[in-house]
Amino acid sequence: MTVAAADRALAVFDLEEHGLDITQLQPFIGAEIGGVDLRKPLTPALRDAIRGLLLKHKVIFFRDQDITPEQQIAFGRNFGELEVHPFIRTEGGYPEIQPVYAQPLHGKPKPAGGYGRADHWHTDTSWRLTPSLGAILHAIDVPPVGGDTIWVNTVAAYELLPQDVKDRIDNLYAIHDAGELKALSSPEKGAEVRRNNPIVAHPVVRTHPETGERALYLNDMLTTQIIGLETKAESDELIEFLLRQFLRPEFQVRFKWRKHSIAFWDNRCTVHYAVNDYGDYPRRMERVAIVGDRPFH
């Protein structure tokens, strides 16, 4: 679905007639969608409208969606095949559901499975040859204060770079290394993950396969080096400069979770950051991820 096709899908689907309420949250990114019950199957027209809203706003949010794992899986399958994560331990007989626990602080034991605290700018599974298309995250237990997540529109972040920087990076590739994942418990575990998931190289600027937009494609922790520069120091300096684009508030939306809130984001043109400001509260989410394709220039 191109940008034009997304606009056509939204034009054909009368949002008000079908009871949908769209609240845009920021000029560059984010919208909250009301008037839809995700416990129920989607009609083809509603599915296309939600996909169009995702392409337009990059991340969309739904409130008060007390869905079961089966319903979350069914919703995700409207948008593609679902991933089974290669090393996150799943539970309850649902291999598509990825538990996302908060890793306790102060030396307390970490629950089995989960990703820990993703307090760094990242796009999911960039260490795979075909990273996720997107993800749907369901809040099960969230702190009363804190624990927000911030998303960044990486298309806007790229478009507003100086032209000389865009010219420099447009054809470069960068290494993404799963062995650097923050959630891994030790260097030995990192080496094991790296053996099973060899490092990959992706474009620093990727083209969105549906909209044709160009977006920065970097991961704060996992992007270890840009290929083709003379020195590692030059690579580190350029990565740091590009990551600073994500800090600009005009490219961001910050979402305050409530129980049974859902976020659905396009992993091809966003990065996100889970704000780590809620102490030892046992924050818990459940996620499904949609199979994507290989990034290209």
> Catalytic amino acids?
122, 124, 272, 287
Output DSSP code: residue 74.
Answer: H
Q: Which residue has the tokens 């020195």?
A: 231
Do residues 194 and 253 touch, judged by C-beta distance below 8 A? no
Helices (H), the chain: 3-12, 44-57, 69-77, 154-159, 163-169, 187-196, 232-243
Q: How far apart are CA 177 and CA 189, in angstroms?
A: 13
Distance (Å, whole) CA 225 – CA 235: 6
Contact yes or no for 99/45 (Cβ under 8 A): no
- HSE at residue 73, side-chain half, CA atoms within 13 A, is 12
| φ, ψ dihedrals at 166, nearest 5° | -60, -45
Q: Which DSSP helix (H) or strand (E) runs through 79?
A: none
Nearest to 18 by CA among 34, 41, 30: 34
Beta bridge partners of 151: 253, 272
Contact 222, 67 (CB under 8 A): no
Strand partners, 134: 266, 290
CA pair distance 233, 236, nearest whole angstrom: 5
- Residue located via tokens 């490092």: 199
